[in-house]
């Protein structure tokens, strides 16, 4: 969902002159959101000690952070590829209503 929100903000606010940069910037925003969450998890683990391991649910997976970041990348890419036509129709519909 962050990919669609960021894309809509770029379109509605007309932020970019070069539209070819939009997918790269949207994916970067999604990865920035994901890494922020991973930092919060890490800080929680540092503060919470042993109890944080149970709370975070990593269950000993040393690649949990990397898997989460990869899934954010895949999710943002899929959202841009598959949801773009639907979002474009929705934006066009709201512009006609005004």
Distances (CA, A) of 52 to 28, 35, 64, 71, 95: 28, 18, 14, 22, 47
Its pTM stands at 0.81
What does the domain layout of the chain look like in residue ranges?
Answer: 2-97
Q: Tell me how crowded residue 37 is: count the other CB atoms within 10 A of its CB.
A: 14
Q: How far are the Cα atoms of 39, 48, 88 from residue 61, in angstroms, in the given order?
A: 16, 18, 39
Give mean pLDDT, residues 15-21: 86
Q: List, for residues 27-65, the tens digit of each pLDDT value.
A: 999 999 999 998 988 888 788 777 666 666 656 677 888
């Amino acid at each position: 969902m962050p990919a669609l929100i960021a894309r809509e903000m770029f379109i509605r606010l007309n932020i970019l002159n070069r539209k070819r940069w939009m997918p790269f910037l949207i994916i970067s925003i999604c990865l920035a959101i994901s890494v922020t969450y991973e930092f919060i998890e890490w800080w929680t683990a540092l503060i919470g000690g042993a109890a944080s391991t149970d709370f975070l649910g990593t269950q000993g997976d040393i690649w949990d952070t990397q898997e989460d970041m990869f899934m954010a990348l895949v999710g943002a890419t899929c959202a841009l590829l598959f949801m773009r036509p639907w979002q474009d129709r929705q934006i066009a519909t709201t512009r006609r209503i005004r």
